[in-house]
Each structure stands twice: as structure tokens, then as C-alpha cells.
Amino acid sequence: MRGENMICAFCGQKINIVDKVGRKDTCPKCSGDLRCCRQCLFFEARAYNECKEIMAERIVDKDRANFCDHFVANNTRQGRVNRAEGARAALEALFKKKK
């Protein structure tokens, strides 16, 4: 994981990861926990227990830091804010009055 970037799942901020993500590490922009299920590569809302790793233990609060042994920082996911802004722009374009 040395020298890689991570994208915060809460705000979309790109974060440079120098070493492993620790349990107490937080996003410098939104202060969201970095070592939580929503930041993990295996997180999938539609999967059983919202995790694609079948050996992982069930974690109830996906937004809080945890001790999961299967955690892998996700560097491809867009933040919730970016998705919300994109959806809002699409709806505005759809219902925009024609002149």
C-alpha cells in the first residue's frame, strides 16, 4: 500500500497513503474514519452483510473504524458527495425548462 492514493468514501477527497491505514486515521477534509467498511475494497451494499469477503466477520456500523483483518483501502470509489452532486445535476437537466 506504500505511496498509493485512497479516495474517501464520505467526501471524495484523495488521500495519499504512505503506509498501512491505521484504526485511528481519519480523512483530513471530513474527519471520517479511514479504516472502516465503507472505505474498504470489499464493501458492497448489495452483498451479504455488505461485504464481498466471505470470511469477514459481520460488522454492524459500516461508517466507524473497526479491526477487520480483511481491510483493503479502496482507491477507486467515488465519495457520496460526488454521487449526490451528479444525481442532482442529472435531475436538474431532466426537469430543466425549455426556452
| Residues 7-50: tens digit of each pLDDT | 899 998 889 888 889 999 999 999 999 999 999 999 998 889 99
Q: Rounded to two decimals, what is the model's pTM?
A: 0.70
What residue ranges do the domains of the chain occupy? 1-99
Share of the chain above pLDDT 70, in %: 84
How far CA 31 is from CA of 1, 25, 69, 94, in Å, comes to 21, 9, 22, 34
> Residues near 57 by Cβ (< 8 Å), separated by ≥ 6?
68
pLDDT score at 60: 94
